[in-house]
C-alpha cells in the first residue's frame, strides 16, 4: 500500500509526522495557487488532492482527509469492490470533531 500525503511546504509540525510514520511518503508542495495561509482555510485541499493523485502509482486509488476516521474494514472493502469493475466506489462523508 502506498500512502501519499501532500502538504503545503512550511506546514508546522510535519516533521513529527514524518518521523512517526516512516513508510508514508510526505511531500511538500511549493507552488499552490489556492493557498492563502489563513488558519482554517481549506480552499487549497482540492489542489493538494490533485497533486497526490498525479504522483500515485497504484492500481486502486483512495482518498481520505485528516478529519476522517474510516471504518476498521474500509481498505479491505474497497479492494473487494474493485474486481466488480466499478469506476468508483464511495460513500457518505460525515464530519466528526473529536477533542483529545
DSSP string computed for 76-99: HHHHHHGGGT-S------------
Res 36: pLDDT: 77
pLDDT digits (tens, 9 = 90+) for 36-50: 777 777 778 888 988
Q: What is the pTM of this model?
A: 0.71
Q: What is the mean pLDDT of the chain?
A: 81
Of 21, 28, 55, 59, whose CA–CA distance to 44 is shortest?
28
What does the alpha-carbon distance between residue 5 and residue 8 come to, in Å, rounded to a whole number? Answer: 10
CA distance 10 to 22: 19
Give me the mean pLDDT over the 26-45 stretch.
81
* Residue-level pLDDT at 92: 64
pLDDT band at 11 (very low <50, low <70, confident <90, very high): confident
Amino acid at each position: 500500500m502506498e500512502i501519499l500525503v501532500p502538504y503545503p511546504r512550511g506546514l508546522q509540525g510535519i516533521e513529527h509526522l514524518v518521523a512517526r510514520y516512516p513508510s508514508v511518503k510526505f511531500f511538500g508542495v511549493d507552488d499552490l495557487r489556492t493557498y492563502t495561509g489563513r488558519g482554517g482555510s481549506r480552499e487549497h485541499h482540492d489542489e493538494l488532492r490533485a497533486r497526490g493523485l498525479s504522483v500515485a502509482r497504484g492500481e486502486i486509488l483512495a482518498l481520505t482527509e485528516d478529519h476522517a476516521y474510516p471504518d476498521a474494514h474500509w481498505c479491505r472493502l474497497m479492494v473487494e469492490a474493485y474486481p466488480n469493475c466499478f469506476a468508483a466506489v464511495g460513500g457518505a462523508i460525515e464530519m466528526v470533531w473529536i477533542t483529545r
